[in-house]
């Protein structure tokens, strides 16, 4: 039976106002880092979030744990609307979600022993008995594959992989429900990546975790994720079960990412011609009209520059936003999140 939805973003938008160029009369540019995002993640599920650099993956991940400002839309967590949660209520909710970063060094205090790094969240969230904290630190070090003796050491005494294990231990020690892992493998070599991925798998089962797993590396996440969500310039362009996306991607952008993903077979990889997406990714402060991908799409049509396609549902949770794959002609327009609904009684 399907698990209940744990985290749900509804029409979520995140914007950043950039500094106005000196002497310019125009208003300060606004980056729509995340636009109109619908994404629900079920308890126990792993959703991989992929897309090129700057497309808004980290911002969406941060918004889903309430550490990026939500401009519009709503966020529900375990049935509760947490879009506007503040103060103590937000602090308390935060113990239920955590983030893991690419560079474990940035999330570890180099001057603190591992014990203190791991004990801190326990103290912050009210666990103060010495015996309880010691027990919990030993238990969590063991769970991430490190000896409890390591508690007395400092981060610089560890390898990159071990440091990432410590960062994961810190994220898991409060037994959160939801973890956003932001490129947690990128700084590691391939064999270490596989070990850390295995650890994520084990911890998911052991602590009933739910993951939003952000990655550039499509090939790596397919075997690990239940579903894959593909973002382009702040928007969701395709989502579906990992197996459906691998075998039957619909959106030209997903297809291009798949074609660019390295093959696990070194011989195939050595002779493979990598198709390069033409042109640079446009600035999210000045996105193209219509389908945001039309400036780089190999099959763009006239309608693509005018109408931003809505998602088409292909069944089984597989959806893509593209005029070329919408049955019976171009897709209707994606709803504009900035449109103010008119009051019908006015």
Ligand X SMILES: Nc1ncnc2c1ncn2[C@@H]1O[C@H](COP(=O)(O)OP(=O)(O)OP(=O)(O)O)[C@@H](O)[C@H]1O
- The stretch near ligand X (CB under 6 A) out of 57-65, 127-135, 235-243, 321-329 is 57-65
- The stretch near ligand X (CB under 6 A) out of 1-9, 53-61, 137-145, 194-202 is 53-61
58 belongs to the binding site for ligand X (CB under 6 A): yes
323 belongs to the binding site for ligand SF4 (CB under 6 A): yes
The site string for Mg ion over 50-69 (x = CB under 5 A, - otherwise) reads --------x-----------
- Contacting ligand X within 259-288 (CB under 6 A): 284
197 belongs to the binding site for ligand SF4 (CB under 6 A): no
Among 55, 100, 304, 322, binds ligand X (CB under 6 A): 55
Taking the C-alpha atoms of residue 23 and residue 46, their distance in angstroms, rounded to an integer, is 48
181 Cβ partners below 8 Å, 6+ apart? 99, 100, 200, 211, 212, 213, 214
Nearer to Mg ion, 51 or 121 (CB): 51
Closest-CA residue to 238 (of 29, 55, 3): 55
53 binds, among Mg ion, ligand X, ligand SF4, none (CB under 5 to 8 A by kind): ligand X
Handedness of CA 288, 293, 294, 298 (dihedral sign): positive
Closest-CA residue to 253 (of 341, 193, 321): 321
Strand partners, 182: 214
297 binds, among Mg ion, ligand X, ligand SF4, none (CB under 5 to 8 A by kind): ligand SF4
Q: Identify how many contiguous H helices and E strands the chain contains and give both numbers.
A: 11, 12
234 belongs to the binding site for ligand SF4 (CB under 6 A): no
Closest-CA residue to 32 (of 235, 215, 309): 235
Quote the tokens at residue 227. 């579903």
Binding site for ligand SF4 (CB under 6 A): 251-252, 291, 293-294, 297, 299-301, 304, 309, 322-324
């Amino acid at each position: 039976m399907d698990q209940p939805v744990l985290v749900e973003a509804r029409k979520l938008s995140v914007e950043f106002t950039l500094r106005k160029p000196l002497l310019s009369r125009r208003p300060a540019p606004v980056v729509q880092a995340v636009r109109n995002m619908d994404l629900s993640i079920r308890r126990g599920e792993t959703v991989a979030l992929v897309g090129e650099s700057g497309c808004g993956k980290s911002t969406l991940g941060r918004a889903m744990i309430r550490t990026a400002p939500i401009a519009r839309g709503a966020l529900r967590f375990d049935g509760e609307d947490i879009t506007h949660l503040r103060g103590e209520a937000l602090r308390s909710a935060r113990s239920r979600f955590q983030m893991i970063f690419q560079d474990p060094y940035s999330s570890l205090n180099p001057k603190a022993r591992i014990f203190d790094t791991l004990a801190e969240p326990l103290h912050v969230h009210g666990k103060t008995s010495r015996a309880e904290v010691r027990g919990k630190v030993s238990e969590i070090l063991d769970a991430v594959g490190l000896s409890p003796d390591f508690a007395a050491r400092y981060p610089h005494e560890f390898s990159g992989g071990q440091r990432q294990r410590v960062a994961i231990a810190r994220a898991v020690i409060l037994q959160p429900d939801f973890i956003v892992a932001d490129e947690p493998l990128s700084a590691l070599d391939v064999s270490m990546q596989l070990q850390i991925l295995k650890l994520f798998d084990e911890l998911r089962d052991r602590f009933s975790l739910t993951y939003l797993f952000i990655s550039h590396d499509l090939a790596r996440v397919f075997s690990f994720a239940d579903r894959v969500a593909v973002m382009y310039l702040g928007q969701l362009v395709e989502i579906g079960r990992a197996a459906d996306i691998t075998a039957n991607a619909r959106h030209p952008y997903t297809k291009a990412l798949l074609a660019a993903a390295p093959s696990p077979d070194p011989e195939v990889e050595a002779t493979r011609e990598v198709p390069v997406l033409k042109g640079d990714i446009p600035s999210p402060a000045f996105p193209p009209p219509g389908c945001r991908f039309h400036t780089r799409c190999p099959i763009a049509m006239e309608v693509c520059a005018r109408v931003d396609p809505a998602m088409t549902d292909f069944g089984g949770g597989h959806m893509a936003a593209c005029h070329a794959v919408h049955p019976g002609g171009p897709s209707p327009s994606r709803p504009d999140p900035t449109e103010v609904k008119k009051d019908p009684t006015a």
